[in-house]
Amino acid sequence: MNKKLFYIAGLAAMLSVQGCGEKFLVENDPNSIPAGTYFQTENDVLLAVNGAYQSLRSGDGLGENSGLYTDERSDDTGRNDNQSNAGEPFQFNDFSILPSNTYLKRHWLALYTTITRCNQILDNIDKVKYASNDTKAVYAAETKFLRAMTYFHLVRKWGDVPLVTKQLNTIEEVSANTFREKKEKVYELIVADLKEAAESPLPNHQPLASKGRVSKAAAHALLGKVYLTMATTLDAANRAANLASAKTYLTSAYTMRTFGQLKEIPYADVFNVDKKSTNPEIIFQIVYKQGDITYSSSIAANNQAKGETINSQKPGTGVGGNVTPDLVKEYEDGDLRKDFSIKYANDATVKDYFITKFRDVSAAAGTNGYGGNDWILLRYADVILMLAEVNLYLGDDKTAITYLNQVRERAARPAYEAMQTDAVYTKKFPTLKLAILHERRVELAFEHQRWFDLLRFFTTDELTTYMQSKSQADFGTAKLSNFGKKDRYYPIPFDEYKLNPTKMYQNDGY
């Protein structure tokens, strides 16, 4: 029996069993190994950790094709097709999503599958003898980082969510964990997991052979982002302490960089498939394998519009990704990031902007579009702009502007101080806070950051006003008027809610 066939049961799949009543069929898969007997050697733990990493790749989870759950939820991208797949994908950017949406349920399931894998590793990691205690500590740190990152997505998208920290082996255990825990408790676990990773024997940065694995810099950067999010979205009584912690960890991650100034790294190089493993700006990425039918990247080909060849040798058949005119207009004249990230397709049947930020026209990727792009989850421009944000909140505008200007300088944009004489710029971004939000939007466009930035920068009422103040003409058939207070969170998927309508209570507005 091949031990690589490591048996994993997702939490959501286990929860669904309850809906079948007490009588259910119990079968053993002859091609799987129960978690209780799987862990025998140090290598078994490594393979299980690799399985947790592997679960990130899916477009239903956090992989490159998961923009439906983030960018299409924001004001950056969307689609005008409200008919395909029963109109369910269109519900995201139309702000008309229903609890019965099957894409939303798939996302929930994928995230809890990663958490389940992590819990099984952590519950069994002590059963094995290790040649070095540091090896065990590293495996635990990687696993806790992945669990924390996944819960960070869950808590920002749904608010209160089931908080499961151990493997569930019986229906009774599943039932006992079928309830939404308060988001503050979820954040406590996220912080605890990331602190362990930050203080572990992980290297500051992974060597070439281990790209795609968690590093200490990644743990510090993500912990800084978590604290910054807590400071701006949770109880104001803890705001000062959370901001201080955010500054500490973000500064620590920044200090770990292996380059001098951001301008030393050309913007295009960050997304160059030939430099993805050696680019010092990238902190944490999901690795894809160029030319491989199973593990290749498809984001370049998927975003390519009909009649275009800039992204991939694979011919496009439609618009690819729909970029909102609202985002197109946000780019300043002369911003090199605009020319690199988007292009207008002028095919007779496609007249729209599409995403060009992710490209692979290599012979290895070929006409099948088996690209080699890695999916970047953390990079230093993000850290630098968060340092600008946290210093702004701490009342240190001078330092905030210094960080902001690092990113603008690389993009060949004038310093923020110089832009204060530009009437167009100051009208669009009258405050330093809005200037930082603007810079994050154009710097990190299509990297699945925008929705979370909006949640962090605005209260629910402010976000509703912000979104509804935009021009409907810039959003096609998706109706901005649908946006309201309910849209701060997703609805709990109906199949999860019906398991226990009291303890799996629905979010407001759904």
Q: Which residue segment(s) compose the domain that 43 sits in?
A: 1-202+458-510
- At residue 66's C-alpha, the angle toward residues 227 and 390, to 5°, is 20
pLDDT digits (tens, 9 = 90+) for 157-179: 999 999 999 999 999 999 999 99
Is the same domain home to 32 and 132?
Answer: yes
For residue 425, tell me if it sits in a domain: no
Q: Count of domains in the chain?
A: 2
184 lies in the same domain as 54: yes
Classify residue 385: in a domain, yes or no.
no
CB-based contact 326:89 (threshold 8 Å): no
pLDDT score recorded for residue 13: 40
Q: Is 53 within the bounds of a domain? A: yes
Task: From 373, 408, 425, give the residue that closes a domain.
Answer: 373
Look at residues 373, 393, 410 and tell me which one is the last residue of a structural domain.
373
For residue range 236-268, list pLDDT tens digits in order: 999 999 999 999 999 999 999 999 999 999 999
- Residues 39, 147 share a domain: yes
Q: Which residues of 23-46 are buried (b: 16+ CB within 10 A; e: fewer)?
A: eeeeeeeeeebebeebbeebebbe
| CB hemisphere CA count around 257 (13 angstroms) | 22
What pTM was estimated for this model as a whole? 0.93
Q: Could you tell me if residue 389 is inside a domain?
A: no
pLDDT over threshold 70, residue 280? yes
Residues 5 and 131 in one domain: yes
Residues paired with residue 462 on neighbouring β-strands, in sequence order: none
Q: Residue 143's pLDDT is what?
A: 98
Same-domain check for residues 346 and 465: no
Does one domain contain both 11 and 108?
Answer: yes
**How high is the pLDDT of residue 393?**
98
Strands (E), 235-279: none
Specify if 329 maps to a domain.
yes
191 and 300 inside one domain? no
Q: Rounded to whole angstroms, what are the CA distances from 286 to 54, 56, 107, 295, 300?
A: 9, 7, 17, 11, 15
Instruction: Verify that 25 and 141 share a domain, yes or no.
Output: yes
Q: Comparing 7-16, 124-133, 265-274, 403-412, which segment has the lowest mean pLDDT?
A: 7-16
Q: Is 49 inside a domain boundary?
A: yes
- Whether 434 is in a domain gets the answer no
Is 471 found in the same domain as 368? no
CATH number of the CATH domain containing 23: 1.25.40.390
**177 near 165, Cβ under 8 Å?**
no
Q: Are residues 6 and 107 in the same domain?
A: yes
Q: Are 110 and 55 in contact (CB under 8 A)?
A: yes
* Structure letter (DSSP) for residue 74: T
pLDDT digits (tens, 9 = 90+) for 41-66: 999 999 999 999 999 999 999 999 99
Last residue of a domain, one of 347, 373, 399: 373
Domain membership flag for residue 251 = no
